[in-house]
Each structure stands twice: as C-alpha cells, then as structure tokens.
Chain A
C-alpha cells in the first residue's frame, strides 16, 4: 500500500470514529468502546477489501460481511455511511424510534447489512452458512465475520469453528477483535479465552495475530487469507478498546455507555484535531 493510500485509510478511520461518537451521543446509548477498537478494520474492509457496491447493495456476488459482535453497529454504520450506503446525517438517528438504524444490525432495514446480529455467537454460524452456500452456487464472493474476544466464550462459536473447518470453508475469513475487555472486566479475568490463535489452529483454521490498528498489517493478513486453500482463515486482531478517544482507551466502563454532551465534545475535539493533523500532513 502506498503512503497516500494509507493516509486516506487513516483519515477514513478517523471519520468512522467521529461517526461512532456522534451517533452514540445522539442515541444516548450504544457501544463506543468495541466500535472504536475495530475502526481500522471497518475502514479496511469497506474501502479496500470487500467487493461491494453501494449503488447495488444486493448484487449477487458481493462479498458478505457479518458483524457477529453486533453491538459494535455504530462502527459498521459509520463505515457504511462513508462508503455511500446511506446518508451520513442518518447516523444521528441511531437507536431512535422510527429509524432504520437499529441498535443492532438489521438486514431487513439497513442497506449493506447482510445478516441481522446482536445475539452473540450467531453471526459466525450464519457466515459459515453463507460460505457453504456460496460454494454450492459457485458464487466467487468471500465471507467475512468480525467477532469479539468476549463473544468467543459462547459455545456456539466453537461449533461454528468446527463446522467451517469440516466443510473446508476457505472462502471464509473470521476476525477476532482482541481488545481484551468485556462488560464485566478484562476477558482473561471474566473467562479466559486465551490462547486464541492456538485454539483456532487446533480447530483446523489457519490463523494469524496482527496489530488491528496497523493498515499494513491488516493488508498483509487479508492478502494471506485469500491464498489459503482448503481451510478457513482467522485474524486475531490486537486492539485497544476505545482507541482514538483518550479517556475511553482501555476503560471497561466505555463498553456500553454513550458519551454525554461534555464527553462527546471532548472526544470529538480530540478526533477532529487528529483528523486535521492527518489532512495537513
């Protein structure tokens, strides 16, 4: 990736973060922490990796993305808006009565959303079903799923991991956002999921651990994912929960709490300064 490309992605990720803060602030609810930790991932997917077309959001061979950790909808919605699936201004209707931007992704109402999620553990299974069907249909699309590191405590996730290996779903790429925190505290204190990469390998997956805020690392990982045949690929993404907003970083309390007016102001000031800095470079 060229420096200019990387700069553009960094600028977009910063805008995704602004969208996360603005939308959760307007909603007075939502999940900023895990949305912010995956901002680079959302950006990379929608601006580099996925074959999608906002003008034709249902085209048959589009790549599918399933937000298995559905509560991080604010990050997904911001990326979809920036990519042109719906107007940016609509982000401020998040979670409002009458808005199509439901608290968790709703495939029936939101352009660009391929699976309704929110109940943890189910999205990765749905992604497996999509990948399986794609093979039957000789559909060249690839299927991507983003899971939380707390989410993988769900037993169903491991049922799905077994299934993906059993049916050799090499068109499936799962990403685990390893930000290390879940609602009740650090993941290894609540219910230790480690070692994640080793467990995935033991389940027959090809797996790689990368810095989830580094676009070069993401590019390398997704490129590698496409070369693996006969087995699914997992990217364990080391991230910082709340990334980009100083007072939210690594704070459990920002898992599922919206910023108030003052906090949103502080966060947006920081993000806009970062954005201005990137654009000035």
Chain B
C-alpha cells in the first residue's frame, strides 16, 4: 500500500461533523481544549455558535453533553481517548450510559500510535472500559472514509456511542462514493479458509497486507474489518470460525478487554475455536515514533502474518 493516500481517521471525524452540522441544527459539539487535535475545530470554524470548548475539564464536558442531549440535541463530545474514556469514565457511565442519552463520544489519539507522548497518553484500555457499559456502541474505523460514514451512522443511532479515532495517517482504501457503513456489521476484506483475521482501526490495513503475505506462503487468510466492537457481529465471527477453524484478532489495544476478548467470549460459549490475539500485552507503552512502536508491539503486517502462519501450521 506504499502508493496509497494516507489520512488520519480523526480527519474524517472533523469533516463528518461539519457535514452533519450543515444538515442538522440539533448537532452540538463539545471539546476539552483539544479542538485542533480531535478535529472538532473544523466544526467549530463552520458553526462557532454550536461548538463549546469546555476547557481542560472532561468530567464536566461529558455530563454537560448529557444535559444538552436531554434537551433533544445530538451532542458530540471529544477529547483524547485517554481522557474521554479514562478520566471521564464514570461520567460517561452514569450521565450518558445509564441515561441512554444521545451523546456521541469522539475520542481521538487512541492507541500506541499516539507515539512520542508516551504511556500517559497512549490509551490501550478504552475498548475495555466502554464495552463494559450497557448499551454503549463501541467502534473504531479503519480509514478516514469509514470514519466519516461511522460518524454519520452514529448521528442516526439513538443512544450513546463511543468512537475511537487515531492520530497517525493511515491508508485510505475505502471508496467514499460506494462505501456503506452499518453499525454492528463486519466487513470481509478478503475471502479465505485457513484462518480468519479480525482487525479494527489501523490494523485493518496491516491485516490486509498480512493476507497478501500469507497468500504468498500458500495460506488462505480471511480478512475481516470489525469496525464495531460492540455490538459484535456475532454471525460473522461464528461463520468465520466454522469456515476457517482458527481466528486471529488484531487491535491497537490491550489484549485485556478489547475485540480479542469479545471474540473469545462469544466463541467459548457458542463455538469453541482456537484464537490468537494480536494486541499490546498487559503492559504500558512508552515514547517513540508511531511506526516504530507499532512494529515493536507487533501491531504490523509482518507480525500478524507470522502469528497467523505459526497458528495455521500448529
């Protein structure tokens, strides 16, 4: 994918917000002094009267967004994943999750690819935290096209949504004109029968590359984009288990509590199937360039292909 255009998924978030703002007067956006980074500033520039900077105060932001939603607004609230899902967890749980209000959390800078800022800002736990809230939709797009479509689907969805976007530019492989997004539906990127690789976020592009590497080695890998972590596309996972017999999950997240565990939970109860999880082990990250960190933690095509190959040959 060397020649492919690369754009960060947070860019799609900002663009989608602006487009939603043009169409719908009920869209309001809250940010916590990171509007330039999260890209809500794009909306703010177009609609300054509906963009509310809350300052560095995520707890208040989340509950204020809930209050606005209770008045019939569709409230988007943004910060880095670390602070949106981490610091404000309990506000999200009680004021947004428990109430079921129409708040859409747009969390940028998720995962290890935050890079140089180091462990304090590398949120590897947000899927786990948000998945644990009843009724919360949890998603992570693979590219900016999917991000845009996801944000629009989140607007249409009634109830709370958590979306994680990335800081780093990632390959754009969806075609904006033809792409259709549906919450809770996985997307088969490549058919295969020896092993199914389920990925989300920036690891979808890596998984697709891994699929090519595996094909060169005579292994038929099914590659699936699991952009929605909750509700999980159980039908697709079970079919992959039945037809491929082995599952590899890939996420820019701790192996604790994310897509991997969601898939394992489903399979262990419905159709016991061997699984390997690619993710960060149960450790904190550290500073470094995004690409180097992704490679170090095995969040790259070469490692996914290695894990899958060893798994198939077992």
Which listed residue, A64, A129, A134, touches B63 by the CB 8 Å rule?
A129
A220 within 8 A of B: no
The residue in B61, B64, B73, B99 that gathers the most chain A C-beta atoms within 10 A of its C-beta is: B64
The interface residues of chain B lying within 8 Å CB-to-CB of A139 are 71
Give the bracket for the number of chain A residues in contact with chain B: 20 to 34
Chain B contact residues, majority secondary structure:
helix
Once the chains are docked, how many angstroms separate the CA of A155 from the CA of B64? 15
Which listed residue, A132, A155, A156, A160, touches B68 by the CB 8 Å rule?
A132
The interface residues of chain B lying within 8 Å CB-to-CB of A107 are 70, 99
Asked whether A115 lies within 8 Å of B70 as measured between CB atoms, the reply is: yes
B284 within 8 A of A: no
Which listed residue, B73, B90, B95, touches A133 by the CB 8 Å rule?
B73
The interface-forming segment of B49-57, B148-156, B189-197, B236-244 is B49-57
A162 within 8 A of B: yes
The residue in B28, B50, B61, B63 that gathers the most chain A C-beta atoms within 10 A of its C-beta is: B63
- Please give the number of chain B residues whose Cβ is less than 8 angstroms from any Cβ of chain A in the complex: 30
The interface residues of chain A lying within 8 Å CB-to-CB of B99 are 107-108, 115-116
With A126-B70, A132-B52, A133-B28 already in contact, the answer to whether A116 and B57 are too (CB < 8 A) is no
Asked whether B73 lies within 8 Å of A125 as measured between CB atoms, the reply is: no
A167 within 8 A of B: yes
The residue in B54, B62, B73 that gathers the most chain A C-beta atoms within 10 A of its C-beta is: B54
Asked whether B73 lies within 8 Å of A126 as measured between CB atoms, the reply is: no
Once the chains are docked, how many angstroms separate the CA of A156 from the CA of B70? 19
Asked whether B57 lies within 8 Å of A129 as measured between CB atoms, the reply is: no
A239 within 8 A of B: no
Residues of B32-80 whose CB lies within 8 A of A: 49-50, 52, 54-55, 57, 59-73, 75
- Complex interface bits, A128-162 against B, C-beta within 8 A gives 1, otherwise 0: 11111110110100000000000000011001101
- Complex interface bits, A101-130 against B, C-beta within 8 A gives 1, otherwise 0: 000000110000011101101110111111
The interface residues of chain B lying within 8 Å CB-to-CB of A118 are 94
Once the chains are docked, how many angstroms separate the CA of A75 from the CA of B94? 21
**Nearest B residue to A116, CB-CB:** B99
Instruction: Give the top 3 A-B pairs by smallest Cβ distance, nearest first.
Output: A129-B67, A125-B63, A159-B60
Given contacts A121-B59, A162-B55, A162-B60, 12 further A-B contacts (CB under 8 A): A115-B67, A115-B95, A116-B95, A119-B94, A126-B63, A129-B68, A129-B70, A129-B71, A133-B68, A136-B28, A156-B60, A163-B57
Residues of chain A touching chain B, judged by Cβ–Cβ distance below 8 Å, are 60, 64, 66, 107-108, 114-116, 118-119, 121-123, 125-134, 136-137, 139, 155-156, 159-160, 162-163, 166-167
Residues of chain B touching chain A, judged by Cβ–Cβ distance below 8 Å, are 28, 49-50, 52, 54-55, 57, 59-73, 75, 90-91, 94-95, 98-100
